[in-house]
Every structure is written in structure tokens, then in C-alpha cells.
Amino acid sequence: MKKKISLLGLVLILVLGFTGCSKSETEYNQSELEQYANFIIQNFSSMTDEQLDYFGELNDLQLDLTMLDTGVPISGENFLSMIDAWKAAEEECGEFVSATGEYTSETTNDGVNLMTDAQFADRAATLQFTFDDEMNMESITVSADYSTGEILQKAGLNTILGMGTVFVVLIFLSFVIYLLKFIPVLEKKFRGSSKAEPVAEAPKASPAPAAAEPVAEAADDTELAAVIAAAIAASEGTSTDGFVVRSIKRRKSNKWN
């Protein structure tokens, strides 16, 4: 039983090994790939922008049928992406002039890349065509060749642009912070103008003068003095003509001494 299991495991290992080898050693027909690449270069370089835009107006079915008629193994979606990449390359490098026609290939895990040098009106560039493992064309990449001086110039411009943007933002923030001190002043003015003017209160009526109590008290004291004088005169058996009452004070005791 153990021998059968070991034999089965060995067979599986061999099968997987052969599968991996066949996958990694896939051979591509480079001449056929070069024909596809040359077809794209010749047609894109000879078409105007209006003619290239025509393909974008087709529906998916019409575009796929058109690709089948050309004989190039490429989907309609990938073809439109390649048109956009070609337009971007001409905007950056100028109008296409020529290609060397000499290709180099690079095999990857997903397929193969086919590269060739090309000359545009403004600068040279490298065209790279990408194919999947079934030799279907997927994309085109145009890499412009810049000199060392141009690379340094672009780097300097990018640095200046980045630093300039930072300083502009900092200046703007400083200006905003400076304006913050005026907010309390404006707030006070706004509140002062929004408050209604106070209404003058009616003067309160002054209290009526109290009755002249001292006069009444004085009258009572006079009467009291007269009564006391009469009482004294009666007890002494005299008249009140000889009595003069200077002041009247109440004693603490009610008894007469």
C-alpha cells in the first residue's frame, strides 16, 4: 500500500514538473509578433486624428469585428487604449517619423514584450508592444528619450513648482491668521448695531409728603402740659398762672413720688 502511495506521489511530481517546464519554455513566434507590431505602427502613423477617433464611435461588437477583419489578435478595448497611448506619445514627442524595424524581445511570466526604437519629430523614443501568453496584443508603451540636461531641467522645474506651491499656501495661511484678530472687533460692532436703543423709563412718582407729625406731636404736648399744670394747680390749691412747663419726660415708674 505504501509503495502505491509513493508511486502515485512520484507520478504527480513528474506531471507538475513537466507542466512547469512546458509553461516556462513556451516559445513565441517573434516574426509573427513583429508583423503585428509593424501593422500597428504603419496604420497609426498614416491615420489622422479624425480617422483614429472613428474607432471610438463604434460599438463593442462592430469594433471587435473590425479587429477580426484586420487579422491582428487584439480586443477592441485594448485597441482603443493603444490609440490613446499613441496620441499621447505624439503630443509629447511630436509627429511620428520612422522606426528602425529592429526588434528585441523579453519574455515574462505573463507573455512577451517586443521593443523597437523610433524617431519622432521632437525626440527619439522606444516603442514597446506587450503580448500575453497566447500571443494576443495587449498594449503599446511609448517611452521618450530625454537627455541628461532635459531631465535635470524637468527636475528643477518640478522642485521650484513644489516649493512655490508650499510658500504660496503658507503666505495664504499667514494672511488668514492675521485677519483673525479683526473678528472680535467686527463682532462687537455687529452686536452694538443690532441692539435696540433703550427706552427712557417714566420718572417714578415721588411719594407724597408725610403729614406734619411734629406739629401734631407738639399740639399733643401742649395739651398734655396744660392738663398736668391744671392737675398740679388743683393739688396745690393755686391757679396755673404761675406755672411754666419747660419740658415733659416720662418716668419709668407709674407711681408718683
Q: Is the separation of the CB atoms in 156 and 148 below 8 Å?
A: no
**pLDDT tens by residue, 86-144:** 999 999 899 999 988 899 989 988 899 999 999 999 989 999 999 998 889 999 999 98
72, with CB counted inside 10 A (0-12, 13-18, 19+), is: middle
Of 16-25, 52-61, 177-186, the one with minimum mean pLDDT is 16-25
6-30 average pLDDT score = 56
Query: Which grid cell is 215?
Result: 406739629
257, with CB counted inside 10 A (0-12, 13-18, 19+), is: exposed
Of 74-78, 90-94, 144-148, 171-175, the one with minimum mean pLDDT is 144-148
What is the per-residue pLDDT for 125?
A: 93
169-183 average pLDDT score = 88
Q: Is the separation of the CB atoms in 41 and 99 below 8 Å?
A: yes
For the beta sheet containing 96-107, the strands, ordered from the edge strand earlier in sequence to the opposite edge, are 96-107, 111-120, 124-132, 137-144
**pLDDT over threshold 50, residue 225:** yes
Tally of residues, the chain? 257
* Residue corresponding to grid cell 505573463: 110
Report the C-alpha gap between 110 and 62 in whole angstroms: 28
Q: Is the separation of the CB atoms in 126 and 117 below 8 Å?
A: yes
222-250 average pLDDT score = 71
Q: pTM for the complete prediction?
A: 0.53
CA 13, chain centre distance (Å): 56
156-176 average pLDDT score = 90
Percent of the chain with pLDDT over 90: 33
Query: Which grid cell is 206?
Result: 415721588
Q: Is the separation of the CB atoms in 113 and 106 below 8 Å?
A: yes
Query: Which grid cell is 187?
Result: 463682532
Percent of the chain with pLDDT over 70: 71
Secondary structure (3-state) at 177: helix
**pLDDT tens by residue, 37-69:** 999 999 999 999 899 999 999 998 999 898 888
